[in-house]
Structure 1
Amino acid sequence: MDPIKGNGELAKEGISRLLANKQTKEELERIVHGTVREQFGLWKGKQVSKWVALESAILFTSNMYQLCDITIAVKAETPIRMSRVLKRDPFRSEKGFELLENLQREETTRQNDEADWHIDNSGNSSIIRELEVIYHQLDNIIQHKQ
């Protein structure tokens, strides 16, 4: 199956097959990650705000964290994430979710070990309050660097 449909959309099945082959996966990652780095750099250069954010489910394993001054891991327990994914995408199976979890295992470990901040997004605490605390800490860091 072709990884790109006739209308230009990505075909999940085709992409999955490419990612199953280690050599093809590495080549695809090289192309995609290189393009993302380049585009992020161009976009970042046009911004006039104090800081910008880069969201990535594979921030550490793709080495995109190297583009960041600080990193924030937003986390929730597996059953909560699975419930949210299945609610958002009812066509995704539990098996498909488990496959994604297996692919994310290294990323999750690295987030736990390497992220500067961790935010609990399980619904047990106020994510807004956690973001406010981080915002003020970042603001203080930036003010002291100037």
Structure 2
Amino acid sequence: MTNKKPLTVGITGGIGSGKTTVAKIFSILGVPIYFADDRAKWLMGNDPILISKIKESFGEESFSESGELNRKYLAEKVFADTEKTKQINALVHPAVGKDFEVWVALQNAPYVLKEAALLFETGSYKQLDQVINVSAPLKLRVSRVLMRDPQRTEKQINDIIDKQLPDEEKNEKADFVIKNTENKLLIPQVLKIHQALKTKADSGQIDI
């Protein structure tokens, strides 16, 4: 092991692409993973500076009397309003970025993964050394989400997809693409990238 700063690698993919499943395979290989979306939710309810900014921007009703984040209220305020979505993102994403930096400094590994749904959309990919995009056909993604979250409608899923960059654009921006289709094995793709990233971390060269 080395004490030098780990290579920072983003892993992203649209809803239903299977990025969390892919991240878990990397985890089995011993790669530390920062789940940015989960951490964002935690910070919104626990980071005093972020809490203060949310209250200032969206009102005291953003939190209950006991101090818990009022997710229903915020979702209603933000989801249908593009400007308010940008506003909440402008508060949350910098807080996640700082939290990630602190987390990275505590890791002792050749590289670490930052798993996030909107790496390209928010521009946070620019702070990372490499990015992996998990790609899958649209119909397959929709069917996966319908199976996973039966309370969602196909329209709701397509609305979410419409707010995310198309796979083609993500694939062009990414350093690596994992194809999570029904006829392509995941593990060999992950192992190949894992080896390439370890090589990159050790020597500064990508070998893939």
Please indicate, yes or no, whether the TM-score normalized by the shorter chain is above 0.5: yes
**Residue of structure 2 in register with 1:131 after alignment:** 190
Secondary structure, counterpart of 1:65 in structure 2: helix
Counterpart Cα distance in 2 of 1:77 and 1:16: 30
- One-letter code aligned to 2:183: N
Label 1:109 to 1:126 Cα distance change in 2 as closer, same or farther (>3 A): closer
The one of 7, 10, 16 equivalent to 2:71 is 10
For 1:3 and 1:108, locate their aligned partners in 2 and report how far apart those are by CA, in whole Å. 34
Deviation at 1:42, TM superposition (A): 1.0
Indicate the percent of aligned positions where both proteins have the same amino acid: 27
2:79 equivalent in structure 1: 19
Task: Write out per-residue CA displacement over residues 57-98 of structure 1, whole angstroms, 9 at most, x where no aligned residue.
Answer: 111111111221111000111111111111111101111011
Contact 2:132 2:178 in 1 (8 A): yes
TM-score, scaled to structure 2 = 0.62
| Superimposed CA distance per residue, residues 31-68 of structure 1 (whole angstroms, 9 cap, x where no aligned partner) | 11111111111111111111110111111111111221
Distance in 2, Cα, partners of 1:107 & 1:39: 28
Evaluate the alpha carbon distance shift between residue 29 and residue 107 of structure 1 in structure 2; reply closer, same or farther with a 3 A threshold.
farther
- In 2, the alpha carbon distance for the partners of 1:58 and 1:32 equals 12
Which one of the candidate residues 77, 80, 84 is aligned to 2:137? Answer: 77
1:55 equivalent in alignment to 2:145? no
Find the aligned partners of 1:17 and 1:99 in 2 and give their Cα distance. 17
2:128 paired residue number: 68
Aligned-partner SS, 2:122: coil
Q: Distance in 2 between matches of 1:99 and 1:36?
A: 25
Offset at residue 123 of structure 1 (A)? 2.2
Residue 170 (structure 2) aligns with = 111
CA distance in 2, matches of 1:23, 1:77: 30
Higher strand share: 2
Q: Normalising by structure 1, report the TM-score.
A: 0.86
Q: Which residue of 2 aligns with 1:36?
A: 96
Alignment-derived partner of residue 161 in structure 2: 101
Report the counterpart of residue 90 of structure 1 in structure 2.
150
Q: Distance in 1 between matches of 2:155 and 2:135?
A: 21
Shift of 1:23: 2.6
